[in-house]
Structure formats: C-alpha cells, structure tokens
Chains A and B, each alone.
Chain A
C-alpha cells in the first residue's frame, strides 16, 4: 500500500498532461470528423498559441522567482509598433527587430528596477506598466495600424515555414527548449528557483537575488518583444491592440503547467502543454460552433478545474 502511494505521489504535477490528453480525446471523438483532427488544424492550433507559448515560457522564470509580470501583452504591441515604424522608415527588417527587442529590454529593465531597487511588489509595478505601455501603444500612431511590407520579416516571424513546420511553431519550440534547459540545468535556473522558494535563504547562500530578479524581468521583456514580432509577422501589420489579455493567458498557462504561483517550483514543459491546452480548447470550441461568449465561459471553467485538481494537499 505504501509503495503504491509512493509511486502515485506527485501525480498532481502531471495534471496538465492528463487534462490535455482528455481534452484532445474529447474533441477527437466529438468533432474529429469536422476537421479538428486534420494536420492543418493541428498546425493552426500551434500557430495561434505560439505567442502565448513564448511569453508563458518567460513568465515561468518570473513566477518561479516569486514575481509576476502583467506588462507582457502591451509590451508585445509596443515592440511590434516600434519594429513596424522602423521598417516603414526604410531601415530594413534587421534594424526593425533590433529596435523591437530593445523596447522589450527597456521595459524589463524598468520593471526590474522598480521591483528590486525601489522595492515595490511586482504585481503593482507591472500592473501600472501594463496600463502605461498600452497607452503609449495607442499614442504612438493614434491607434492606426502600420502595414509591414518586409517579406523576409513576415516569412521569418509569421507566414513562412521550414519544410512542413510553420515558423511560428518553430519559434515556440525553440523558446520552450531553451527555457527548459536554462531553468533546469544551469546555475542561473537553479538560482531563480531558490530565490522564489526562499529569498532570504538564497541570499544567505551567496545568491545575488536582486540580480536574479532583474534578469527574470529582462527575460520577459525580451520574450514579449519576440511575441510582438510574431504577432506582426503573422498579420503583416503592427497594431496597438496586439496581446490584449495575453498576460492572463500566459499566467494561466504557467499555473496550469504546474508552476507554483508562490515561486520556487517551475516547469517549462508543463507551461508549453498548458499553453497548448488553452489553444486547443479555444480551437475546439470554435469548431463546435460556440459563440465567443460561450468560449470564454468554458475556457475559464476548465482552467479553474484543472488547477483545482492539480492542487496538492497542504503539507
């Protein structure tokens, strides 16, 4: 009996995989014949979730370090607009990408500064930053979209593919792989987890916890900028409204994936599957013909259920 208990110990960590399998199976049986199971649709799911994946992977670092970043969605739009304007001015796609990434880094730097040196809780800093940047997004072009004519840019970030793999899928796989290796195997990743698990103990172990937190905000800033490139590459346009609500989807993906909202415990693979789960639910509900309002309700309910099942009993 004890052995059996031991072998099932920690099954809650895998709840996201179980839920993902259940949801896919459910849709396969109910709407498998309506096009859910076609390769095209499956790729479509990965394409539309790739921005959330990229932001959620970075979010896993911030949350594991015991912080939160609500500003990723509006930062994605800022980076897209900055890149779009740079390209519109005729500086080429490389300059556009550079400017976009710099915007993301700048936002990350500001977030990190206020959290680590001014000591404001990250929830408040990034809540304010989210509003501020969204306002900035609207102000930059007075909400006008900026068309992007750079073929290379659009192919690289949105439209193109490598063999049968869409480039959007490649970006999200790349982000997941790098994130997984960094969080799990490098000293930096372990210091992130230790900082989130117990900041004082980490400091007493010689970890520079302020620097660790700063880096984690630079990572989300950069990832948000990359997500901005993906949004604008896919749409061949930069819009102020990109990434609205994406911060919440990203956080949901992270928590579904088994990362602790209190810090100290994180799984990048879980996050990836969490994001796919959200994308699959949305896709399936659309094919089933549900209204947007109904989609929201079902998706919200499933997230609460999955987290409730995945909750460990208090030790």
Chain B
C-alpha cells in the first residue's frame, strides 16, 4: 500500500502576516489517481498547490514523494521531482509551433550546439504526442489550436520533462463540451499510464465523472477525504460550506405569480450564421433557461437581445415595445451580465465604485457632474446586500475573487432595477459559496418581478433556477420543457445532445 502512494503532504502549515492559511493540512495522492481538491475561495487550495510547486515554502510539515521526504525550495526543485502545474492562463507562445513550445529552451542542437536541429525537434515532439495518442501535427502554430488542445500540448510539455504528478486548475472553465470530453478521455489515458493528477474544479458533475477521490478543504483545514462513490453532490456542498447549503442547488417551485404581458418577447428573431427563427416569451417574474452546447447560438441570442448585434430578421419587444440597439435596450430596462466578466464585464484596473456606476453615470448626474457621494452610498448598499467581499468601495476590482467580481457585474445592472435581466454563464469560475449566493439572488429578483433569461453550461445550475427551459441546437430552438416535467439532469442532457 505504501508504495502505491506517490505523494504525501503531512501537516502542512503556512501563515501570511500571522494569518494561518494552512493549519496542518494533509493530502495524499495514489499512483494513477485523479484526486479532486475542493473548497471555496480562501480555503487554502491554491496556497497548498503553491507549496507543492515550490512557489511558497511551508512553515511546517513534511512532503514525501514516492515515500521519500523531499525539500521543495523552488519551482526548479518541484520540476526535478516530477511535479508540474498546468496553468489556467496558458503559458504557451502562440506564434511558435507545437514542437517548438514543447521543447522551448531545451531544443536539440546540431553543429556543436550552434543551431537548433529542427528535424530532430519535430521527430521528438511527434513521438511524445503519439505516445499520448494525440493526433496533433507538431508543426502547427499554437495560435491555431483551440484552448482545449493547448492544454493537451501543455501537458505534453510537462510529461516531456518527466512529470509524474500533474496539477490541473479549472481546466474546463473555457473550453467547449466536445473538448471537455476529449480532455477527459486524455486524462483517463494519463491515469492508465500511472500519472497522478490533482484536479481543482468548482464543477460538481466533472468531479463525479472523472475523479477517484475528493479532498475538501475549508479555512485551511481538511474537512473530508473520501472516495467519490461515497459522496453525493449535497454532501459535498455541505462539506465545503460547512452547513446544509446543498439545498440551494435544489429547484424550488415558484411561489409567486407571473405578469400577464410578456416582459420580453422575441419574434422570429434570427441572425445570419448564428441562429434563426427564435420565438420566446419571458414574463415578469419568470426565469427561463437557454440550454445548449457552446456554439449553439445561446450567447449570440443574448447579445442580440441586448442590442450589441443587429438581428437580420425578426424583432425584440420589451413590454410590447419594439427595441433596437443597445441604447434603446438599456433604456427599456434590458441588461446583460456577459459571459466573460474579465474582458466584457469589468474594467479590471478600475475600482468597484467606478465599475458599478459606469452604466449608470446619467442617473447620478447633476449639473453636468457625477455626484460621487450619492453614487458611493448606492455602491455601499450593494456591497452589503450582495455581500461583496471588498475592503473598500474604491478597491481595484481586479484584486477581488471571481465570485465577488461577478457580484460587482450584477450590481452594475441592478442599480437600474432592470425589467429584463439576461445572464450569460452567471457563475462561471466562481466558488460554491458565491454560486449559491448568486442563485439565491436570481430567485429573489424573479420574485420581485424581473424577467430573467439565463444561459449556463452547467445543467445542474439551469435546473436549480429555471421555471422553463428552451433547448437550443445549431441556432434553433428544438424543444421547450417545463421544469416540473424534468425528472433528472439526464433528461436535459439527452434533450440537448440528441
């Protein structure tokens, strides 16, 4: 049994400015195991991983690799011991080829090391990729690969340096469903080859389909380590949040009545090459989910309703009035929380305050100038009511965690008391605590009469919120399902894929 354990981290301690971040944390990893590491933001996951990869040094505890105590005093030492982190933000050079990236700075040489031996470089890269069962041409520039393929190349690079322990941090947060399947197959092959993987993700369904064991951390302590088979989604959420919060992911039948006229109506809406003939009504107080794979036209529909793109046919009506273009849409009370908060939702270098007031400058304007004290008060109210964790309204928004950033994007638009709220992946990359906060908030807004249209790749989340689901495929609405008719997640999966 002992030899089967490739990594043991025992009683790891770490503090920053006398704040203990890790309190005697343990983690053990078996050969050929995919081990999920879970916990909310601030649980200590990333600190633990930074100690393992030599970015930080532990204040106490031991690390054993293959049963031998080791001293990881820097990233080089971690690499030599076969530990590699596959980064969330990719560290490949887009203009270089796959082979050049894999052997960057370690290129085979010829003529006494004067020139790079390109033929040998390509041959070696091909060998590695073949071994991994991946059919990628080593001469392809990385810029032409999809995000999912880049991850595979990055893993190939790590394996070419003899890595035995891989750390994957949210590897599926920006890739399509088809690529997720490919990546999972790839990970299972790695597993069969005896590579051990520490897998960090907020997505429950992935954990259950891919991982063997789970370690849950909370406030720097181990809460639970168990075989996946022993856990249910609710018990996992409860372990992470330390309460019976798992219930927030359960669907709750609507307790309020709907408006009589549709707040949002799409009539034969179409946009060339993206989607066509979309007919949809969302009543005030209703939450409608758009279920479809990436590329099914869901984001394009949202952006067209918001007026960022002009439809080629059909129209958007808000409370019976036709609306065209973003300015009319915003004035009519249509707002969009976009798919990517970092590039579309926020000016990351600006403060929380500046971001929240940006779409609302005219609301706070008096005699030509923005009334900052009034704006500050509104923003402080949102920080309280949405429980946004920030030391100050003037803190740079880029320094907040993903979940808190997402709440800031919501606050931007809630300040206008919207009639129609469009949510595109509202909980992508946010931890479970913020996720349940956001789901609760959406329910509350609906009960106050907002019409809500939501897109999400996570079916469990769509099922937790929506009263009605529209299934999208290749830009067309193929089915409409009442929530009460959907018995399980499998039904929705089936409807979306078949």
**Chain A residues engaging chain B, CB cutoff 8 angstroms:** 1-2, 181, 185-187, 190-191, 193-194, 197-198, 200-208, 260, 264-265, 315
Contacts and interface: CB of A to CB of B under 8 A. Distances in A.
Contact of B361 (A190, A198, A264): A190
B399 A315 contact: yes
B358 A190 contact: yes
B385 interface: no
B119 to A, nearest CB: 39
Most B Cβ at <10 Å: residue of A2, A187, A208: A187
B369 A2 contact: no
Interface of B: 17, 308, 326-327, 330, 336, 338, 343-350, 354, 357-359, 361-362, 365, 368-370, 372, 396, 398-399, 412
A187 B347 contact: no
Given A206-B326, A264-B347, 9 more contacts: A186-B369, A187-B362, A193-B350, A194-B350, A194-B354, A194-B358, A198-B348, A205-B412, A265-B349
Contacts of B359: 205-207
Most A Cβ at <10 Å: residue of B336, B347, B350: B347
B361 A191 contact: yes
Nearest to B327: A206
Given A190-B354, A206-B359, A315-B398, A198 B327 contact: no
Contacts of B368: 186
Nearest to A198: B347
Contact of B347 (A201, A206, A260): A201
A211 to B, nearest CB: 11
30 contacts: A2-B17, A181-B369, A185-B369, A185-B370, A185-B372, A186-B368, A186-B369, A187-B361, A187-B370, A191-B361, A193-B350, A194-B350, A197-B348, A197-B350, A198-B347, A198-B348, A198-B349, A201-B344, A201-B345, A201-B346, A202-B347, A202-B358, A203-B308, A205-B358, A206-B326, A206-B330, A208-B327, A264-B347, A264-B349, A315-B398
A2 B17 CA distance: 8
Contacts of B370: 185-187, 190
A1 B18 CA distance: 12
Contacts of A200: 343-344
A204 B345 contact: yes
A193 B354 CA distance: 10
Contacts of B358: 190-191, 194, 202, 205, 207
Contacts of B348: 197-198
Nearest to B357: A190
A186 B350 CA distance: 16
Contacts of B361: 187, 190-191
A260 B338 CA distance: 27
Contacts of B362: 187
Interface of A is mostly: helix
Contacts of A181: 369
A187 B372 CA distance: 11
A16 B252 CA distance: 58
A201 B372 CA distance: 21
A264 B17 CA distance: 32
A198 B344 CA distance: 8
Contacts of A315: 396, 398-399
A190 B375 CA distance: 13
A197 B346 CA distance: 9
A205 B327 CA distance: 10
Most B Cβ at <10 Å: residue of A198, A202, A264: A198
A209 to B, nearest CB: 11
A204 B308 contact: yes
B308 A194 contact: no
Contact of A198 (B346, B396, B399): B346
B326 A198 contact: no
Contacts of A260: 349
B53 to A, nearest CB: 20
A91 to B, nearest CB: 34
Most A Cβ at <10 Å: residue of B330, B370, B372: B370
A201 B357 CA distance: 13
Most A Cβ at <10 Å: residue of B336, B359, B361: B361
Nearest to A260: B349
Contacts of A193: 347, 350, 354
Nearest to A189: B370
| 10 closest A-B pairs by CB | A187-B361, A197-B347, A185-B369, A205-B359, A198-B347, A205-B358, A206-B330, A204-B344, A206-B359, A264-B349
B344 A194 contact: no
Contacts of B347: 193-194, 197-198, 201-202, 264
A204 B350 contact: no
A207 B357 CA distance: 12
A208 B308 CA distance: 11
A313 to B, nearest CB: 13
Contacts of B398: 315
A195 to B, nearest CB: 9
B397 to A, nearest CB: 10
Contacts of A194: 347, 350, 354, 358
Most B Cβ at <10 Å: residue of A181, A202, A206: A206
A1 B365 CA distance: 40
B337 to A, nearest CB: 9
A190 B365 CA distance: 12
A315 B400 CA distance: 12
Nearest to B341: A201
Contacts of B330: 206
Contacts of A185: 369-370, 372
A314 B308 CA distance: 33
A236 to B, nearest CB: 37
Contacts of B17: 1-2
B294 to A, nearest CB: 19
B313 to A, nearest CB: 24
Contacts of B326: 203, 206
A183 B114 CA distance: 56
B29 to A, nearest CB: 32
